[in-house]
Amino acid sequence: MTKAEIQQIKLRFGIIGNHEGLSRAIDIAIQVAPTDLSVLITGESGVGKESFPQIIHQYSRRKHGQYIAVNCGAIPEGTIDSELFGHEKGAFTGAISERKGYFGEANGGTIFLDEVGELPLPTQARLLRVLESGEFIKVGSSKVEKTDVRIVAATNVNLTQAIAEGRFREDLYYRLNTIPIHMPPQSERVEDAEQVFRKFASDFAEKYRMPAIQLTDDAKQALLEYSWPGNVRQLKNITEQISIIETNRDITAAILRSYLPEHANPRRLPTLWGSKEHDKSFESEREILYQVLFDMRKDVTELKKLVHDIMSERVSTGHPVNPTPIYADEADLVSPVISDVPTLLHTPASSTPLHKKEHPEIQDTEEYVEETLSIDVAEKELIRKALEKHHGKRKLAAKDLNISERTLYRKIKEYGLD
């Protein structure tokens, strides 16, 4: 395609930037659109992957058919098969009527499966059958149905790694990845940042009926130097914040930096970094877990003091130790990692009075916990606290944890928190 044709497509679908990788992705989308080949769009969260399924649909022979976009990560595991393939009346509790499902509704059109890497394995097997033969079976039915659907999928998950970990089917990956399209992150599209900012500033000026904000020269340099980990979505959000809050429409570097997270919060928690393809949602979870470990250390210290005080009081007064274990608020959390606490709780009354110097096992409890704290225990406690905070509302808890609702459902089942 010529540059003029690509530019016309960008204008039509609201795509901003002249990066070579972006133009290449549009070119591939236009070339593959007239075919019925499945397409897999990859890239970090917030890069704008959702525009490409619409490009493919509008330039295909299916453009007059249905276009359905499905966020696979937002549908609970127990209902996702029903959502995608439909169900018969009475197939399960609450199925008061027959449902057609997205694949039935999109017959003759295009279906966009966003966050396809979040699909559970049984659903992946059903999807593979649709890709291979166009056949599917409704939940609660034995009748095979046919559908003629073009599938475009997108993910920010490293599917190769997911395959190695047994979380994604290899055969499904190759079926979806017939035509790969990769969206470059904003950090690789440095030259596009200023153009994207101007477009968003103009849009928000029109939306809120106010003069558009403008960057000074030093602010433009700061804009180009920032890595934009949230990609275009983050750039858009910050542009909107500045447009609304700042009364001065000339934005300096100091003003811009005050809205950037790494400047607003210079003391960041340690995080584990891998390759560029490392799963960003996993990194975010690990960063949160570090904070939980620090909080748990305080809880363990308080429990240690509680156990020591109770034992000292009972031994000094001559009362026998209650054989029933003593529980603190967090005892159920830390019991897996303090193996000597049960022993201390069952110490006979005739034992020597407890003192730190005579009983180094109590003195060393905190150090022992630091060495043996489990990431799984921390993650379980993090999820439990988030659910309590939001009174069991899983959607809000998932948002607070910065993970998908699908991942939260899986973790709740894994840790027995339901």
Q: Which residues contact 314 (CB under 8 A, 6 or more apart)?
A: 320, 321, 322, 349
**What is the torsional sign of CA 56, 26, 12, 238?**
positive
Do 233 and 306 share a structural domain? no
Do 386 and 345 share a structural domain? no
Q: What's the pLDDT tens digit per position in 35-45?
A: 999 999 999 99
Choice between 18 and 296, residue whose per-residue pLDDT is larger: 18
* Exposure class string for 10-32: b at 16+ Cβ within 10 A, else e: beeeebbbeeeebbebbebbbeb
Report how many domains make up the chain. 4
Q: Which of 233, 264, 295 is the last residue of a domain?
A: 264
275: in domain:
no
Separation of alpha carbons 358 and 374, rounded Å = 29
410: in domain:
yes
Which CATH number fits the domain that encloses residue 91?
A: 3.40.50.300
Do 398 and 300 share a structural domain? no
pLDDT of amino acid 390? 85
Choice between 317 and 176, residue whose per-residue pLDDT is larger: 176
Using a pLDDT cut of 90, give the percent of the chain over it: 58
Q: What is the mean pLDDT of the chain?
A: 82
Do 64 and 158 share a structural domain? yes
- 3-state SS class at 221: helix
249: in domain:
yes
**121-141 mean pLDDT:** 95
Do 135 and 37 share a structural domain? yes
Separation of alpha carbons 46 and 158, rounded Å = 15
pLDDT at residue 271 tops 60: no
pLDDT at residue 381 tops 90: no
Do 60 and 8 share a structural domain? yes
Residue 56 is encoded by which pair of tokens? 């493919």
274: in domain:
no
Do 209 and 136 share a structural domain? no
211: in domain:
yes
- Beta-strand relationship, 179-182 and 39-42: parallel
Q: Using alpha carbons, select from 374, 376, 375, 398 the residue that is nearest to residue 386.
A: 398
Pair 34, 59: CB distance under 8 Å:
yes
Separation of alpha carbons 354 and 311, rounded Å = 7
Which CATH number fits the domain that encloses residue 391?
A: 1.10.10
- Number of neighbouring beta carbons within 10 Å of residue 281: 18
**What is the DSSP secondary-structure string of 258-297?**
HTSHHHHS-SPPP-----TTS-HHHHHHHHHHHHHHHHHH
Q: 287 falls in which pLDDT band (50, 70, 90)?
A: low
Q: Which of 184, 216, 236 is the last residue of a domain?
A: 184
Do 364 and 229 share a structural domain? no
Q: 95 falls in which pLDDT band (50, 70, 90)?
A: confident
Q: 317 falls in which pLDDT band (50, 70, 90)?
A: low
Q: What's the pLDDT tens digit per position in 193-230?
A: 999 999 999 999 999 999 999 999 999 999 999 999 99
Choice between 382 and 149, residue whose per-residue pLDDT is larger: 149
Q: Which of 184, 201, 220 is the last residue of a domain?
A: 184
pLDDT at residue 183 tops 80: yes
251: in domain:
yes
Residue 95 is encoded by which pair of tokens? 């199925």
Q: In Å, what is the CA distance from 86 to each residue of 46, 96, 146, 178, 270?
A: 30, 13, 13, 26, 45
Q: Using alpha carbons, select from 88, 92, 113, 112 the residue that is nearest to residue 101.
A: 88
* Angle formed at CA 93 by CA 104 and CA 83, multiple of 5 degrees: 25
269: in domain:
no
Do 18 and 114 share a structural domain? yes
Choice between 282 and 173, residue whose per-residue pLDDT is larger: 173
pLDDT at residue 337 tops 50: no
pLDDT of amino acid 336? 44
For residue 365, the enclosing domain spans 281-373
Q: What's the pLDDT tens digit per position in 23-79?
A: 999 999 999 999 999 999 999 999 999 999 999 999 999 999 999 999 999 999 989
- 3-state SS class at 346: coil
- 3-state SS class at 319: coil
Do 103 and 180 share a structural domain? yes
Q: What's the pLDDT tens digit per position in 224-257?
A: 999 999 999 999 999 999 999 999 999 999 999 9
Do 180 and 299 share a structural domain? no
Least confident piece of the model among 108-117, 177-186, 303-312, 365-374: 365-374
Q: Residue 164 burial by CB count (10 A; 0-12/13-18/19+): exposed, middle or buried?
A: exposed
> Between the CA atoms of 170, 172, 173 and 178, what dihedral angle is there, to the nearest 10 degrees?
130
Query: Which pTM value belongs to this model?
Result: 0.62
Which CATH number fits the domain that encloses residue 233?
A: 1.10.8.60
Do 309 and 362 share a structural domain? yes
Pair 32, 39: CB distance under 8 Å:
yes
272: in domain:
no
